[in-house]
Structure 1
Amino acid sequence: MNSDRCMPAVGNRWTRRRFALALPLLGALAYLHPRQALAGMVEGAQPLVRASRTLMGTRVDIAAAVGNGRDAGAVQQAMLHAFAEMERLEALMSRYREGSDVARLGAAAGRHAVHVAPEVMQVLRTARRLHQESAGAFDPTVGALRGWHFEPGHEAAPAPEEIAQALRLVNARHLVLDERAGTAYLARPGMGLDLGGVAKLPILQAGLQVLERAGVTDALANGGGDVLVMGRQHDRPWRVGVRNPSAPAQLLGVLELQGRGVVASSGDYERGFLRAGRRLHHVLNPRTGWPTEGVSGVALMAERVEDVNGWGTALMVQGAAAAPAWHADHAHVEALVASADGTPWSSPGMLAALRPVPARAG
């Protein structure tokens, strides 16, 4: 995982900060300096097979435990198939890919329904359910806010009047799904979808499922702070570090996962820029059309992707004050919510699960 320094703003740009709130610990990580992330293997430890690709606007890493007669070459081949599957799904769900299901839905908005792949339908169902359960805090139709651009070198903020006009088209109740026919429909012209907050975890999960079908039972996938695991890292659990929001080069603690597990994180750290002294980032509030305020990051831990998917984005919209009540309704999920001032709120289970950081966390 890339852990470049947090650089100062240059002009009106805020360079990308790679301080995801959660990150896998696969080697000898001292974290005295952010460039030491994924520094290497613990001396004498059994090897991991690793591979990385740029997908979904971030770096995706896969690591698998080998040894005990496992064929590293076969694991590497399985990883190639896993990345191919993730690339296929990204091509279906990206709003930036011409011809993707998401792009076709936007082009047909207000005119006709569009046949979508079953994987896309499943993500759309999740997005619509999240919209209902979060009272609109999560809304996939923020894709109508097309004036925002966070790509490095192409950053742009729309004018307030442009935001106000686009907000009229942000309402997931106008996303119509016909599962029997396999179609989706955006009911008003000009509507658009952005599945960035809800598609990444299912895509990472699909990659792990490819590995599992190939006989790989112990693996980890990380995409921009979303970490999924299956099995173990040889004779111990997989370890995921949770950063200190007020000092990102340090860790609050280490989470241990084995069997099936996920640590999902959302935050203002991946894409953003400065404009008129205000830091603007890619997580948009569907109620205002502007980037969320008050929460810098969210980390959620559970056994199932379905229990955390999309909720990091929703909690950034709802604010840190909503976290205790949300956790009371989602007691099977452990949570850490960092306020913009760096102050973290943690559920009791998250505090109990966080292990101390040893001098060499591996």
Structure 2
Amino acid sequence: MDTVVTIRSYDLDTVSEKNVDRAFTAAFAKIRSVERHLSIYDKNSETVKINRRAGTTATIKVSPDMWDAIKVSKKIAALTRGGFDPTIGPLTDLWRFGNQPRVPKKAELRAALRLVGSKDIVLDGPAHSVRLRRKGMRLDLGGIAKG
């Protein structure tokens, strides 16, 4: 997810080194798993698959991690009245955070803003599948996946 992860262990006197190693191994395995599903940088991630099919009727069956991240993201978007929105992808694409940052033109921003709105994330609970209603929409779960 293009970030740094640090895990620290405290009070090693009460826990065996073997158990600490197991815990670290499990924690980093979980981080890799979450990244495989939620990353916008991995062309095979569930996020990228959902984004590719935005605006179609095709749904993507998602992992429990992805399902939970999207549900929580939608809830936070509602609670913040859009202050946080997991469909911010069109805006982050414009700013090109990371590679070659730039300030987009106002017309570009207005067009991208029309594609932002978590209300257009369609969840099918029984199927554990997701789709984005409008073509050009893009999920970017970096704001929640790193937390």
Question: What one-letter code is carried by the residue in structure 2 that aligns with 1:150?
Answer: F
Alpha-carbon offset, residue 123 of structure 1? 0.9
Secondary structure at 1:81 match in 2:
helix
Quote the residue 1:81 is aligned against. Answer: 26
Structure 2 SS opposite 1:127: helix
Displacement after TM superposition at 1:165 (Å):
1.0
Asked whether the 8 Å contact 1:121–1:179 carries over to 2, the reply is no
Q: How does 1:26-175 map to 2 (within 5 A)?
A: 56-64=1-9, 65-68=11-14, 70-111=15-56, 112-145=58-91, 146-151=93-98, 154-175=100-121
Aligned residue for 1:192, secondary structure, equals coil
Q: Partner amino acid for 1:95?
A: I
RMSD: 1.5
| Rg (Cα) greater in structure | 1
Matched residue, 1:31 = none
* Aligned-pair identity (%): 33
Task: Report matched runs for 1:220-259 at 5 Å.
Answer: none
Decide which structure has greater strand share: 1
Unaligned runs of 5+ in 1: 1-55, 202-362
Structure with greater contact order relative to length (CA < 8 Å, sep ≥ 6)? 2
- Please give the secondary structure, in 1, of the residue aligned with 2:18: helix
- Distance in 2 between residues matched to 1:138 and 1:124, nearest whole Å: 12
Kindly tell me the number of residue pairs found equivalent between the two proteins: 144
- Structure 1: which amino acid aligns with 2:111? Q
Deviation, structure 1 residue 133 = 1.4
In the alignment, structure 2 segments of 5+ residues that lack a partner are: none
Which letter does structure 2 place at the counterpart of 1:135? R
* Distance (Å, rounded) in 2 between the aligned partners of 1:140 and 1:59: 21
1:80 deviates by 1.9
Alpha-carbon shift at residue 73 of structure 1 (Å): 3.5
* Mapped partners of 1:144, 1:58: distance in 2: 20
SS of residue in 2 equivalent to 1:177:
strand
Give 1:141 shift: 0.7
Deviation at 1:197, TM superposition (A): 1.4
**C-alpha offsets along residues 146-197 of structure 1, whole Å, 9 cap, x if unaligned?**
211221x522332222111111111111111111111011000010011111
1:298-337 equivalence runs, <5 A: none
Normalising by structure 1, what TM-score?
Answer: 0.38
Query: Which amino acid counterpart does residue 124 of structure 1 have in structure 2?
Result: I
Normalised by the size of structure 2, how large is the TM-score?
0.90
Q: In proportion to residue count, which structure has more helix? A: 2
Q: Which residue of 2 aligns with 1:318?
A: none
Distance 2:17 2:69 in 1: 33
Output the amino acid matched with 1:170.
Answer: V
Partners of 2:120 and 2:112 in 1: how far apart? 14
